Chains A and B, each alone.
Chain A
Amino acid sequence: MLYAVLCYHSEAVVGGWSKAEDDAVMEKLEAVQEKLAAEGRLGPVARLLPTSAATTLRKDSDPPLILDGPFAETKEQLLGFYILDCQNLEDALEAAQELAAANPGGAYELRPVGLFRQGVLTP
């Protein structure tokens, strides 16, 4: 069974860490990640850029509505995610709109990825 681990924290708090504090946390996390990777159990790892860099596609209207900022509603639940390689936001929105046409309703939040490790899962 694959599990997705979704990371939540106060952005203002984490964004307030000094570089030294941030580095220290990342170093401790990497030690755990290395262990999981050695066991072939670590898939993709991503650290997202702040929500101020997010754009949201509300796909319950046709055509979908593009809004600045993160997805803010609480009546919907997180059901899945994609990692897309895009030239820019326009490119990402185009891909998301294609996906939206295939599955209207709900929303997509587009958030640039700041740090990405591919990871390898061995069956």
Chain B
Amino acid sequence: MSDLAWIDAALGAARPQAMAALLRYFRDLDFAEEAFQEACLRALKAWPKNGPPRDPTAWLVFVGRNAAVDTVRRRAREVELPDEVALSDLGDAEADLAERLDGGDYRDDVLRLLFICCHPDLPDTQQIALALRIVCGLSVREIARAFLVGESAMEQRITRAKAKVAKADVPFGAPGAVERAERLASVAAMIYLLFNEGYSASGGEAPVRAGLCDEAIRLARLLLRLFPAEPEIMGLAALMLLQHARAGARFDEEGAVVLLEDQDRTLWNGKMIAEGLALIDKAMRHRRPGPYQIQAAIAALHARAPRPEDTDWREIAGLYQALERHMPSPVVTLNRAVAVSKTEGPAVALDLVEPLADRLSAYFHFQGVRGWLLLQLDRKAEAREAFDRAIALAHTPAEAAHIRMHLDRLSAEGAD
């Protein structure tokens, strides 16, 4: 690997920790970002000559902090100085800094940095965009591309989001246990949103947006390194790994969705599956189940089945039932109905599905599943009606194409 590639990788890897520490010193996102940028520039000059430092993160924080102080001194006549309190400890030695980086409050720094991006007033997409820009260090151009919007629109969105969080007044003291748990839950939800932003992409867009899934998995691994004993974070990481492992098999050459049971399982990523299974194993030992763990356990049962007919649908139906208790939602019930149809037949499943009509009649998958169950029960006219509704509700061409296939088959059968 060339010098530049190595340095680039090291800077990217150090970014969340370094940004988090700089934010604690300066208590201002823009200021912390500027300091980090300056430290990166100096690293590009110094590291090829002197070799990489033993602890790149500590180096970047130390250099970034000093560079920022220089800037402040230079600007002193033009702009107001930051709060005295924020600057008072800037004379600390590097040894002290390294010690503080290793200390317990360091993990709370990274958590705080992520938590700031989860401001409740920010719409989901802005939370994600902010995290990608600030924590992951993606350029505005890369983020705009992943969200399929123009660069200037994304630039505006991020600027607005930053302005909002700047006013948010997130406390900088070490959080208590309850507060920490709440922050972790918010951050986990944001990471899963980020993942789904990439995962829900349709065939043609999928390659462009798969990077979002990778970033989400990277953030979950980072959280796990900092909070190694949190079963729901293990569950979240496992869930994303097990789902993303199927990326190579989810679309055919035309970009149409390939259903789980029709996927070529040799295209699944074995390494990601192994990591996901190991994490869900670890999580289960805690006997503190939660929605991410249960969903990961369901994904694990699919991953463990060498062929679709080996899938343990009874266990999956039971897990969906557990998920309904933790996270009651008609969509979860709909999923349970699919599992139930495999073990107890389409009639029992349809009985579970019909009562959901009030809440889900405008939901693509509801009409799709309903049509599919009616079709198995040979109630063709009703099936056609459900599929017609589904196709009108499809969000992506791939979804529409899948329903179209059922309708075409119905028409063909109707013809003879």
Contacts and interface: CB of A to CB of B under 8 A. Distances in A.
Contacts of A11: 225
B229 A68 contact: yes
Nearest to A19: B214
A12 B237 contact: no
Interface residues of A, number: 25
A123 interface: no
Contacts of B218: 15-16
Contacts of B277: 88
B271 interface: yes
Contact of A52 (B5, B14, B56, B224): B224
A115 interface: yes
Interface string B251-284: 0000000000000000000010011011101100
Interface string A1-18: 000000000111101110
Contacts, number: 66
Interface in A17-62: 17, 21, 25, 49-53, 55
B221 interface: yes
A89 B225 CA distance: 19
Given A50-B221, A52-B225, A10 B10 contact: yes
Interface majority SS on A: helix, strand, loop or mixed?
Answer: mixed
B10 A15 contact: no
A58 B218 CA distance: 28
A12 B12 CA distance: 9
A44 to B, nearest CB: 17
Nearest to B228: A69
B9 interface: yes
Given A25-B1, A69-B229, A12 B279 contact: no
B237 A52 contact: yes
Interface of B: 1, 5-6, 9-10, 12-14, 56, 218, 221-222, 224-225, 228-229, 234, 237, 271, 274-275, 277-279, 281-282, 285
5 contacts: A11-B225, A49-B274, A50-B275, A53-B275, A53-B279
